[in-house]
């Protein structure tokens, strides 16, 4: 079987990284219009860099949890293809050992120049006056996809969904498209669909099977079943 796994902030919650829409989520503390839109960046780049500098620091201090490790084990021990599409901008999947990971909303660890689109590894702290290493213009920003911008790798992702036998969604609320529509694309291509989440997501009814619980518990249990059953 080819397995495509979509992950969201919930898989990193037990690593201490905040989710967005839970009770104490990031969008309850920051106005996403100010820190996660191109308009917000144009208005106040210093605030946006401050927000992402803080998230970069949190990410450095966090560690992958048992759910990230279980998915890395699945990629290594399962006979079929295992591909992760993550909405997360943290690098916990990679630090747990996963290799086939696509960051559709970009990565905290990368920077991009708004003037020339050059990309490079982000320094720990970024500021509006930082010159782009390629063109020198002070237009550097985190290489993350903001609201109103196009997610990355969409052609590759839809091709993988069209060819998968099992689509698993882990730790996402199903609020944000296009990711929230991946389950329909996979089901339309004949895949089985499974949701592993702390509580039913907004689009839980679209999944053939749903399991509730903390990812660090239910993801390793699911991986164990898949590996034992192959």
215-229 and 66-77 helices, crossing angle to 10°: 20
Distance from C-alpha of 132 to C-alpha of 207, rounded to nearest angstrom: 44
Is 64 a binding residue for ligand APR by CB under 6 A? The answer is no
Is 25 a binding residue for ligand APR by CB under 6 A? The answer is yes
Classify each residue of 26-59 as buried b or exposed e, where b means 16 or more C-beta atoms within 10 Å of its C-beta: beeebeeeebbbeebbeeebeebbbbbbebbebb
Q: How many residues bind ligand APR (CB under 6 A)?
A: 23
Is 199 a binding residue for ligand APR by CB under 6 A? The answer is yes
Residues 98-117 that bind ligand APR (CB under 6 A): 105
Q: Which stretch binds ligand APR (CB under 6 A): 48-56, 135-143, 152-160, 169-177?
A: 169-177
Q: Which of 53, 98, 109, 201 binds ligand APR (CB under 6 A)?
A: 201
- Among the listed residues 217, 221, 151, 119, the one whose alpha carbon sits nearest the alpha carbon of residue 6: 151
Q: Which residues, other chains included, contact 195 with Cβ-Cβ below 8 Å and sequence gap of 6+?
A: 168, 169, 170, 183, 201, 204, 207, 209, 210, 211
Active site residue 105: yes
Return the bridge partners of 167, or none: 4, 193
Q: Which stretch binds ligand APR (CB under 6 A): 8-16, 47-55, 71-79, 119-127?
A: 8-16
Q: Which stretch binds ligand APR (CB under 6 A): 47-55, 154-162, 182-190, 197-205?
A: 197-205
Is 45 a binding residue for ligand APR by CB under 6 A? The answer is no
Q: Which is nearer to ligand APR, 16 or 136 (CB)?
A: 16
Q: Which is nearer to ligand APR, 129 or 221 (CB)?
A: 221
- Among the listed residues 67, 116, 114, the one whose alpha carbon sits nearest the alpha carbon of residue 90: 67
Is 20 a binding residue for ligand APR by CB under 6 A? The answer is yes
Give catalytic residues, as residue numbers. Answer: 105
Q: Which residues bind ligand APR (CB under 6 A)?
A: 8-10, 13-14, 19-22, 25, 87, 105, 171-173, 175-176, 197-199, 201, 214-215
């Amino acid at each position: 079987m080819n397995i495509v796994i979509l992950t969201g902030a919930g898989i990193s919650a037990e690593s201490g990284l905040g989710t967005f829409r839970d009770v104490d989520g990031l969008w309850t503390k920051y106005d996403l219009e100010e820190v996660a839109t191109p308009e917000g960046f144009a208005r106040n780049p210093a605030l946006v860099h401050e927000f992402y500098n803080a998230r970069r620091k949190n990410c450095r201090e966090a560690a992958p949890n048992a759910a990230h490790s279980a998915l890395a084990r699945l990629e290594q021990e399962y006979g079929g293809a295992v591909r992760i599409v993550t909405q997360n901008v943290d690098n916990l999947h990679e630090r747990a050992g996963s290799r086939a990971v696509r960051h559709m909303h970009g990565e905290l660890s990368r920077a991009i120049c708004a003037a020339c689109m050059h990309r490079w590894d982000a320094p720990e702290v970024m500021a509006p006056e930082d010159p782009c290493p390629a063109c020198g213009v002070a237009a550097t920003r985190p290489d993350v996809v903001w609201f109103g911008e196009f997610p990355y790798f969409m052609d590759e992702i839809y091709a993988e969904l069209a060819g998968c036998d099992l689509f698993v969604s882990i730790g996402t609320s199903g609020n944000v498209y296009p990711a929230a529509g991946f389950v329909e694309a996979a089901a339309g291509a004949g895949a089985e669909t499974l949701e592993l989440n702390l509580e039913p997501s907004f689009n839980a009814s679209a999944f053939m099977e749903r399991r509730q619980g903390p990812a660090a518990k239910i993801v390793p249990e699911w991986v164990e079943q898949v590996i034992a059953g192959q």
